Amino acid sequence: MFRAHDVGAMKQLLLVPILALALVACDSNSENQREAALENKADAMENQADATRKAAEQKADAIEDTKAGSEKLKLTTPQDNAADAVRKNGEAKADAAENTADAVREQK
């Protein structure tokens, strides 16, 4: 038979790992805030990347719209080349912003 002090000792032995697991499983409030701040920063960077792509596309379209007459039928005018360069530059900037956003998320 178990004695009263044996039961108390068993409870203590069971309680220690349960408490340890509970403490490990719970993030602190400050950790949650840090992760939320990082997530918000990454989201803002991705939004900026989207805006960069959109602005570059609009600028490229405006450049292409300056073609006149028979230039509109050609695919390799100086305007087309300039528009392509604007798109590539915008895409590169947007990709860099997204890569930075991914790096920020990995800090969590």
How many domains does the chain contain in total? 1
pLDDT in tens, 27-51: 688 888 999 999 999 999 999 999 9
Q: Give a yes or no: residue 82 inside a domain.
A: yes
Q: Give a yes or no: residue 19 inside a domain.
A: no
Q: Give a yes or no: residue 11 inside a domain.
A: no
Mean pLDDT across the chain, nearest whole number? 86
In angstroms, the CA 85 to CA 63 distance is 11
**Which domain covers residue 51, as residue numbers?**
28-106
CA geometry: angle at 80 spanning 84 and 72, to 5°? Answer: 150
